[in-house]
Structure 1
Amino acid sequence: MADSTESDAASSNERDSESHSTVRNVVLVVLDTARAKSSGPKTSPTLTRLADEGTAFTNAFATAPWTLPSHASMFTGTYSSEHGTHGGHTYLDEGLRTLAESFADSGYETIGVSNNTWITEEFGFDRGFDELRKGWQYIQSDADMGAVVRGEDLREKLDATRNRLFDGNPVVNAANILYSEVLQPAGDDGSDRSTTWVANWLAERDADDPFFLFCNFIEPHVEYDPPREYAERFLPEGASYEEAAAIRQDPRAFDCEDYELTDRDFALLRGLYRAELAYVDDQLGQLRTALEESGEWEDTLFVVCGDHGEHIGEHGFFGHQYNLYDTLINVPLVFHGGPFTDGGERDDLVQLLDLPATLLETAGIDDPELLEQGSSRSLHPDSTAPPRDAVFAEYVAPQPSIERLEARFGDIPDRVREYDRRLRAVRTREYKYVRGDDGFERLHDVTTDPNERDDIAAEEPEQVRTLQRRLEEQFEPLEDADATGTVEMREGTKERLADLGYL
């Protein structure tokens, strides 16, 4: 009996050692605009396989409904009002420590591949990266023509071209604009070139250092233009690729009632969106293959998430601005490798800002400065961090601003003017409460109303008060916030934003 007990204890200690084992490399892949409700075996078989082999978090939430503030939270472990990066202030504060800086200081080679023009050195996201590649550039250049790509219409694109063409080498800049606006292959927004580059980089590197690799794949983002063979798998019966491709995709124009979309239009758009998820999922598979062929897969923590979701007709919206419904903040999150192997599903409430603490603990990195600046909690299976009983999200300032919409459309509908507000949300397992600095509020019982259709704030005033207190415990009272949702800009930021057409 004693021998059996000692054997059991030894096995237990061995298991504990394995569960605490660190990994050599860390790869973080963001599927831009991937929402949880559309991810699954049909659209995302590669991600599903990763989840089956690793750990899937089924209640993962972004801190914001669009790219810039969401990535800032992932990189720093802070909420939008803490990192101050949003539609009114688009630069990541240099005083905040980033995930890439932590890995770099721990001896990692740090590589970033961004296909979203917000995630560049122009907005402070290059800190800590040995190299941060821009997927929309045909020729890698420090002069970034991303403002052209971000232009809402032809006028903004032409203005950005005129303002930026001679910033550096005009020939290189012209080539990059021509590539991003005209010559980029149909059906691919950079993920194929990115996975090819990563595969070549992995095959050629001879460094002994571990690496941290960040990739942003933007295909699920508007405009949805998947390859025909993908689209035809997901379009409604009887619909043609040509019919779907002819639908105007201009979310801000739709918001401002510049054109209409029918229920059939949205059904077709949802088919295109699902096809984009399927296409980028195949690219995710290519990235895994590259890691396997380079011999790095078994020693790598591989993490995949969406940075925010998307409305495709839900709640009368198209795109991912102006609100905090779960359609925009509930995202897929999957871990594979290290202690997250054969971990099954976890349904605890988690946030994307939990990534820094989780990645660092799994890699065996101690960085008090990064962890103490924010609210990141490790999701490591053996973490001692307390589980969350609520998650939070913020929409600090409209993007694009109401003034920018007026410059483009002239008179805009009153319902759009209502979006000129600051929003905060708190979500528990039972309730979701959203409050605006203009007095707007909604309460939903997410157990019986997961699609957030029925506002029950008037019927449950005590629950409203309770969750309002939770918001004020997490953040300062909204009544004390600047009504515009802006923060004081650092020196030079106003000039940068003016150059980009935001001021």
Structure 2
Amino acid sequence: MSRPNVVVTVLDTVRARDTVPASTSPMSTLADVAASGTEFTNAFSPAPWTLPSHASIFTGTYPSRHGAHGGHTFLDDSLRTLAEAFRADGYETVGVSNNTWVTDEFGFDRGFGTFRKGWQYVQSDTDLGTVTRAEHPGAKLRAACDRLFDGNPLVNAANLVYDEFATGDGAERTTSWVDSWLGDRSDEDPFFLFLNYVEPHVEYRPPREYAERYLPPDTTYDEATTLRQDPRAYDAGDYGLNEREFRALHALYRGELAYLDDQLARLRDALVSAGEWDDTVFVVLGDHGENIGDHGFFGHQYNLYDTLLHVPMVAHGGPFDGGQRTELVQTLDVAPTLLDAAGIDDDGFREQTQGRSLHPDADADSRQAVFAEYLSPQPSPESLTGRFGDLPDRFLSYDRSLRAVRTADEKYVRASDGSEWLYDVGSDPDELWNRADGDHDRTRLLSDRLDQWLDSFEHATTTGEVPMTDSTRERLSDLGYL
């Protein structure tokens, strides 16, 4: 496999707790790929949410280095992207995203010859999300009249009809588009394909037949799917969920995993049918995890627990046929690994990357620790005060940044307000007992290790949020980010 195709498939919001090892998860296709490839059972994201975690995958750098986070919602062009490196080496580069953060609006299209928004039939800068989310026909009509002539009215009309009446959802549409693209493709150059599947992300709405496999005996599908799923409202104390309700939501989440696994099967079948599977390095990973009542949280903001950082990661094809690897790795290690797998010598990218190649022939040292950052609360307490009024005292404490260092046995988290947490993750994997006050020596040792890491590289200096369109803001609000 001299110049392999490369496919990077991000399963948005998929956590290791439900998927690692793959053989015990609701995802049989993922387990299949892992069994004949390489599964990294201790893979960690450097950030707990989509924007910074994808920026790290794309650039091979940590959030402090690439600067894309809640306080600066854009990936600047000061760093090369993985797509740019592949395109410069003659690869056809294609990206399909179903998460609004991962689009041209926030700087993620650089290097892609083709970049598709999964919710549009005809690719356009005009997003008609205001129409599709309107709650009654009159509101839809008013929204359509407001947006129809924003750009090309024929394209807008086609996207409106598609988003309103097309069967299936973003995952199914994405897989079908890739299948068609592969079938029509005549380019003899290899391709680099990036996919973001946004299931499972709130709201969890798997088809009934997938959800009912996991629902508790005392909960029906109709009851589970009528539960309110608004993470920011939950965090702000606007409503509550009890243990039974969280069990139902967790069942829906696992149903989404099972549904998404069938899309992975279709994607693999499409590569096989096109005659490309045997010539493809195929990587599947989570960008971050999810709290479903864990630690009192719903969603993936305001903390750095392993429920948000520990993710599945599997590589198949080329040199990746080595069973399980249990050493600590990070999702940003994917970038230099794929450059090695494709034999690409991109000096600019290799100079910037903080990742370590996981190629079996690489001479990179194994990580003794992994790091994570939450540089700015997203959304901010100020913005949620505007939505909900007075916030509970618990929530006000979230107006801070967080950084963490994790070894195989311990984890240390430090907040900008001076709060500290120390967990023995070997004996306390759920991170329930904070040992920081009782073990000052270990706390100081890991705090110093975190400082040494922070001092070891140049930090981005960008500040300020990047303006976004109203429709993008509304889509991100639907995903629980705003």
TM-score by length of 1: 0.87
CA contact (8 A) 2:368 2:407 kept: yes
Q: Of the candidates 403, 409, 420, which is equivalent to residue 399 of structure 2?
A: 420
Comparing 375-384 and 230-239, the one that deviates more: 230-239
Distance 1:80 1:162 in 2: 41
Aligned to 1:372: 351
Q: Write the mapping of 1:265-280 to structure 2, written as runs, cut at 5 A.
A: 265-280=245-260
Q: Residues 271, 496 of structure 1: CA spacing in aligned structure 2 closer, same or farther, 3 A cutoff? A: closer
Distance change in 2, residues 1:250/1:177 (3 Å): farther
> How far apart, CA to CA, are the structure 2 residues paired with 1:298 and 1:29?
17
Residue among 188, 205, 210 paired with 2:190: 210
Residue 257 of structure 1: how far off its partner (Å): 1.1
- Report the alpha carbon displacement of residue 402 of structure 1 after superposing the two structures with TM: 1.3
Match of 1:229 in 2: 209
Contact kept in structure 2, 1:226 and 1:275, CA below 8 Å: yes
Is it true that 1:332 corresponds to 2:312 in the alignment?
yes
Contact 1:224–1:269 (8 Å) recurs in 2: yes
From 90, 97, 105, give the equivalent of 1:107. 90
1:372-402 CA-partner distances (Å, limit 9, x unpaired): 1130110001110011000000001111111
Structure 1 position 292 matched with structure 2 position 268: no
Aligned Cα root-mean-square deviation (Å)? 2.7
Quickly say closer, same or farther: Cα 1:224–1:179, change in 2 above 3 A: farther
Secondary structure, aligned partner of 1:234: coil
Equivalent runs, 1:103-502 vs 2, <5 Å: 103-145=86-128, 167-169=150-152, 172-173=155-156, 176=159, 180=163, 183=165, 185=167, 188-341=168-321, 343-476=322-455, 487-489=462-464, 494-496=466-468
Secondary structure, counterpart of 2:194 in structure 1: strand
Q: 134-143 or 343-352, which moves further after superposition?
A: 134-143
Q: Specify every segment of 5 or more residues in structure 2 that has no aligned partner in the other structure, as ranges.
A: 135-139, 474-480
Q: 5+ unaligned residues in a row in structure 1: which ranges? A: 1-20, 152-156
Distance 2:437 2:116 in 1: 50
Greater CA drift, 47-56 or 396-405: 396-405
Gap change, CA 1:140 and 1:270, over 3 Å in 2: same
Q: Deviation per CA, 1:90-148, whole angstroms, max 9, x where unpaired? A: 11011110000000000000000111111110000000001111111133213345799
Contact 1:72 1:85 (8 Å CA) reproduced: yes
CA contact (8 A) 1:219 1:276 kept: yes
Letter in 2 for 1:366: D
CA distance in 1, matches of 2:461, 2:208: 42
Q: In the alignment, does 2:40 pair up with 1:57?
A: yes
Paired residues in the alignment total: 465
Deviations 1:167-216 (A, max 9, x none): 42356446646755x5464xx54111111111111111111100000000
CA distance in structure 2 between the aligned counterparts of 1:90 and 1:149, rounded to whole angstroms:
25
Whole-Å separation in 2 of the counterparts to 1:405 and 1:66? 18
- Identity within the alignment, %: 59
Specify which of 4, 12, 16 is matched with residue 32 of structure 1: 12
CA contact (8 A) 1:225 1:272 kept: yes
Taking a change above 3 Å as real, the CA distance of residues 166 and 90 of structure 1, as seen in their structure-2 partners, is farther
| Cα distance change on mapping 1:416 and 1:175 into 2, 3 Å | farther
Q: Distance in 2 between matches of 1:163 and 1:402?
A: 31
Report the alpha carbon displacement of residue 368 of structure 1 after superposing the two structures with TM.
Answer: 1.8
What SS does structure 1 have at the residue aligned with 2:213? helix
CA distance in 2, matches of 1:136, 1:170: 17
2:8, 2:282 within 8 Å by CA — same for their partners in 1?
Answer: yes
Q: Tell me what 1:9 maps to.
A: none
Q: Deviations over 1:78-101 (max 9, x none)?
A: 110111101111110111100000
From 84, 88, 94, the equivalent of 2:67 is 84
Q: Deviations over 1:210-234 (max 9, x none)?
A: 0000000011100000000001111
Partner of 1:69: 52
Cα gap change, 1:148/1:64 in structure 2, threshold over 3 Å: closer, same or farther?
A: farther
- Measured in 1, the distance between the counterparts of 2:80 and 2:151 equals 29
Which residue of the partner structure matches residue 6 of structure 1?
none
- Does the 8 Å contact 1:356/1:371 carry over to 2? no
Q: For 1:102 and 1:161, how far apart are their aligned partners in 2?
A: 40
| Structure 1 residue 160 displacement after superposition | 10
Partner amino acid, structure 2, of 1:385: A
Q: Letter of the aligned partner of 2:177 in structure 1?
A: W
Residue identity matched to 1:357 = P
1:277-318 deviations in whole A, cap 9, x for unaligned?
000011001000000011000010000000000000110111
> CA contact under 8 A between 1:34 and 1:309: conserved in structure 2?
yes
Map 1:4-23 → 2, pairs under 5 A: 22-23=2-3
Task: Report the Cα offset of residue 461 of structure 1.
Answer: 0.7
SS of 2:69 mapped into structure 1: coil
With over 3 angstroms needed to count, the CA separation of the structure-2 counterparts of 1:422 and 1:150, relative to structure 1, is farther
- In 2, Cα distance between the equivalents of 1:433 and 1:148? 46
* Partners of 2:216 and 2:33 in 1: CA distance: 28
State whether residues 189 and 219 of structure 1, in contact with CA within 8 Å, keep that contact through their aligned partners in structure 2: no
How far apart, CA to CA, are the structure 2 residues paired with 1:487 and 1:322?
Answer: 21
For 1:340 and 1:123, locate their aligned partners in 2 and report how far apart those are by CA, in whole Å. Answer: 32
User: CA 1:277–1:380 in structure 2 vs 1: closer, same or farther (change >3 Å)?
Assistant: same
8 Å CA contact retained: 1:435, 1:441: yes
Secondary structure of the corresponding residue to residue 430 of structure 2: coil
Letter in 2 for 1:270: H
Distance verdict in 2 for CA 1:340–1:100, change over 3 Å: same
Taking a change above 3 Å as real, the CA distance of residues 272 and 53 of structure 1, as seen in their structure-2 partners, is same
